[in-house]
Amino acid sequence: MTAVKHGTCGVVSDPHEIANVLGIAGVEFMVNDAKKVPLNFFFGAPSCVPATSFESNGASLNHEQVRKLLEMKEIKYLSEMMNYPGVIYDDPEVIRKLVCAKKM
């Protein structure tokens, strides 16, 4: 692997895009595939799938699914909360994701 060859020993990865298309199955695929290389991956649980209500991307993750991801030992954090309007205006689903991540 080129990154390892040049001294990279770890990466932080937000699997948002694969989750947009495949949901939890996509994140699990990335986690399992990462085990095949000598590189440390620090994966996050995608927080905004889809990123907006205007997308038709194929998948969505609610707070229960985000919690399930956060329970995996390979998932280290809640990824970027792109839905800042949901935070500002107290969207219940967004807040549940944040509260879950904070507890964990």
At 57-89, the pLDDT tens digits run 889 999 999 999 999 999 999 999 999 999 999
Q: How confident is the model at residue 102 (pLDDT cuts 50, 70, 90)?
A: very high
Q: Report the CATH number of the 2-103 domain.
A: 3.20.20.140
Residue 42 makes CB contacts below 8 A (sequence gap 6+) with 10, 11, 12, 13, 76, 77
Query: How many CB atoms within 10 Å of residue 59?
Result: 18
Q: What's the pLDDT at 6?
A: 94
Give the residue among 56, 39, 31, 33 at the shortest CA–CA distance from 3: 39
Structure confidence at residue 57 (pLDDT): 81
> What's the pLDDT score for residue 68?
97
14-51: pLDDT as tens digits: 999 999 999 999 999 999 999 999 999 999 999 999 87
CB 25 within 8 A of CB 61: no
Instruction: Write down the pLDDT at residue 14.
Output: 95
Res 53 pLDDT > 80: no
| pLDDT band (50, 70, 90) for residue 92 | very high
Residue 52, pLDDT > 80, answer no
